[in-house]
A and B are shown apart, each in its own frame.
Chain A
Amino acid sequence: MSRIEIDSIRCKGCGRCITACPKDLIEFSQEINDRGYTYVDFTGHQEDCSGCTLCAVVCPDQGIEVWNFKDKQTFVNTTGLTENMTHYCPGCTHGVVHRITAEVLEELGLLDRTVGVAPVGCSVLAYEYFNIDMFEAAHGRAPAVATGAKRARPNLIVFTYQGDGDLASIGGNEILHAANRGEKITVIFVNNAIYGMTGGQMAPTSMPNQKTTTSPMGRDVETTGYPMRVSELLASLKTPAFIARGSAHDGKHSLKLKKLIRQAFEYQRDNTCFSFVEVLSTCPTNWGLSPDEADKWLETTMMPYYPLGIFKQPDVASPA
């Protein structure tokens, strides 16, 4: 008999765990927590829990831990994150990407030699959440900051964590050239097809016809172009690199995403190449959708345009 523990204080009531549970064992509580959120409760029969951990995998708020039938803890909150509760909206998958990144660094034993670079955008406060030495960079400049740090202290593991406005728009030059120089850094690129922090403006990655505050009639590709596929763009460079795209919209894809992020940091650890993982991510608030609807919108609207997979690997020959 497996079991889970839900930290009702951390819970923002996004309900992603409810959707993820294959046995329908989690429900919204009738109560609200001290932060004003309707939290979730384990309401099923204890013997029905298989300990699959999907609820914890999709939780953006480090709110669930899991024990297997031998009472061995099989999902432990990573020490790579601080105990600070994030400012992210309920259901936003930034929390999932933070956790996966921190878990990988912890599992690879790299936490105490890593320096992260936070961007400007919703993840501007990432330095409050990653339990490691951190920079906060100017808007779009994180790859240049990471270049300076890595070239100055090559033994450090240096990564940037950037959103789509930061990386694909204002920081387009910095990411392109860091990749082209083959900087031995890792870039986690969170693509949620919108500017979050400033309140839902069109990003270079916004979908055709997507309504945002600066494309109120929907993105017009005639005047604003098509969504930018940054992974494919970077993969076209000759310089060896690891370039991949994953998604954080459900448990299965989050587990696959972790493998990609792990590979990316392994390439840096081994001083092999520039590594870049794009993560399709949700923004329920600015998309005007519930967390559940947002996860579905990502799968039905974003994923067909932004295919998942590995676009470039250092040991696979590049086109001449």
Chain B
Amino acid sequence: MAKVLMKGNEALGEAAIRAGCVHFFGYPITPQTEVPEYLVKRLPEVGGAFVQAESEVASINMVYGAAGVGIKCLTSSSSPGISLMAEGMSYLAACELPCVIINIMRAGPGLGGILPSQSDYNQATKGHGHGDYELIVLAPASVQEAVDLMTLAFDLAEQYRNPVMICADGMIGQMMEPVEFPGEGRGEPFKPNDWELTGAKGRARRVVNSLFLAPEELFAHNIHLKEKYDRIHRDEMRSDLYGADEPYDLLLVAFGTMARISKTAIDEVRRDGLRVAMFRPITLNPYPTPALRAAMDAMGPSGKVLTVEMNMGQMVHDVRFAAEGSRTVDFYGTAGGIVPSPDQVAAKIRALIG
């Protein structure tokens, strides 16, 4: 299929249809509103349903209902709305219901601003709802990658019966790029399974539930979930290296739009002979810690690490965790919706190894 020029948010919507999702539940919030605006037109064409919910609290619970009856479904929001969905995410994960949640991150905290940000990193990877659970979190660095990760998101959601979040900053949602979509039309629904609620016709009844009043039963459920998360951490870490084929003295770590901007900065400082490579996590959870550590260890002990984020320093803690004290990890970031320029990132690199 030929490439088409599309806005990130609209491309995410189309990608969901190609992945077999034709049910969307959401609430307007900037900067993700083009996702529902696109899908409200497209979903009736492919036999699906679009519901504008009364709140993000309701949207995520509609997702719980649709996922529970075995239908691929999607919701999207931006940071404050994701906070409201936190409760529902906990229930979805507890009940092992597959679904995809898009967060087009804006600047916070509070009402914050509507410009791009990566300040929900901690929330996405370690926060949101209550209890021992995890989401799979995918971070695209381009509109094309956002499209590609949507198919992966639904595949992982189904394979692991777990909610998957696509965590993109407002830049990815708002910018237009040429993209190529997989397949031709609506993708496949979930495969036949033994958990969906479809009416107990000719089979034992089923219950979607997260209440375990007996502590032994709840603990057994916690262990069951943990074993699943362990499998996810073992098998589903994804990352990308840039410029690591040649020796490097500084490893820059960035995700999403910041990885893209950093790439330009790296190209710029390389012209001055500085040896810099970049590690980009694609799965923010599971965090690709072993691959990151290997990329650090590929440098000598004097090699430096710089984490660049569009926030006040969140992922940097995971990078330091990967370093395990083996070397210092520097941080550069801006927040409030201010996107660092390649020159600013380059200046930080030069300050460290120039």
Contacts and interface: CB of A to CB of B under 8 A. Distances in A.
Interface of A: 111-115, 117, 124-125, 127, 131-138, 141, 144-153, 156-157, 173-174, 176-177, 181
A133 B206 contact: yes
Interface string B53-89: 1110111011111111111010000000000000110
A149 B66 contact: yes
Closest 8 CB pairs of A and B: A148-B65, A148-B62, A144-B61, A152-B66, A152-B71, A177-B54, A149-B65, A148-B66
Interface of B: 23, 25, 49, 51, 53-55, 57-59, 61-71, 73, 87-88, 91, 197-202, 205-211
Nearest to A147: B62
Contact of B199 (A114, A150, A173): A114
A177 B198 CA distance: 25
Given A115-B199, A138-B91, A174-B54, A133 B207 contact: yes
A112 to B, nearest CB: 4
Contacts of B209: 127, 134-136
7 contacts: A135-B65, A141-B61, A144-B65, A147-B25, A147-B62, A147-B65, A149-B69
A174 B59 CA distance: 10
A174 B58 contact: yes
Contacts of A147: 25, 51, 53, 58, 62, 65
Nearest to B53: A144
B214 to A, nearest CB: 13
B88 A135 contact: no
A132 B199 CA distance: 7
A135 B54 CA distance: 21
A85 to B, nearest CB: 16
Contacts of B53: 144, 147, 177
A136 B92 CA distance: 11
B77 to A, nearest CB: 15
Nearest to B22: A152
A177 to B, nearest CB: 4
A138 B97 CA distance: 14
B198 A138 contact: no
Contact of A144 (B49, B57, B73, B197): B57
Given A115-B197, A132-B199, A138-B88, A146 B211 contact: no
Contacts of A156: 69, 198-199
Given A127-B209, A136-B208, A149 B197 contact: yes
B58 A124 contact: no
B201 A136 contact: no
- Of B53, B54, B65, chain A has the most CB atoms within 10 Å of the CB of B65
Given A148-B62, A173-B55, A177-B54, A135 B201 contact: no
A136 B207 contact: yes
A147 B58 CA distance: 9
A146 B53 CA distance: 13
A174 B61 contact: yes
The DSSP consensus for interface residues of chain B is: mixed
A44 B276 CA distance: 95
Contacts of A127: 207, 209
A173 B53 CA distance: 10
Contact of A112 (B67, B68, B199, B210): B199
Contacts of B62: 144-145, 147-148, 151
Contacts of A137: 61, 64, 91
A132 B61 contact: no
Contacts of A138: 61, 64, 87-88, 91
A134 B65 contact: no
B63 A148 contact: yes
A141 B199 contact: no
Nearest to A183: B51
Given A135-B68, A144-B53, 14 more contacts: A113-B201, A124-B211, A127-B209, A133-B207, A135-B208, A144-B64, A151-B25, A151-B51, A151-B66, A152-B73, A153-B70, A156-B198, A173-B54, A174-B54
B200 A133 contact: yes
B46 to A, nearest CB: 14
A134 B204 CA distance: 12
A124 B213 CA distance: 11
B125 to A, nearest CB: 23
Contact of B61 (A115, A145, A176, A181): A145
A151 B49 CA distance: 7
B55 A152 contact: no
A152 B25 CA distance: 11
A149 B54 contact: no
- Of A132, A146, A151, chain B has the most CB atoms within 10 Å of the CB of A151
B58 A141 contact: yes
A295 to B, nearest CB: 30
Contacts of A115: 69, 197-199
Given A135-B209, A151-B49, A177 B199 contact: no
A290 B202 CA distance: 43
Nearest to B64: A145
B61 A112 contact: no
Contacts of A173: 54-55, 57-58
B211 A135 contact: no
A156 B196 CA distance: 12
Contacts of B68: 135, 145, 148-149
Nearest to B52: A181
Contacts of A117: 65
B51 A134 contact: no
A149 B71 CA distance: 9
A18 B61 CA distance: 43
A157 B197 CA distance: 11
B263 to A, nearest CB: 40
B61 A148 contact: yes
B207 A134 contact: yes
Nearest to B55: A173
B205 A134 contact: yes
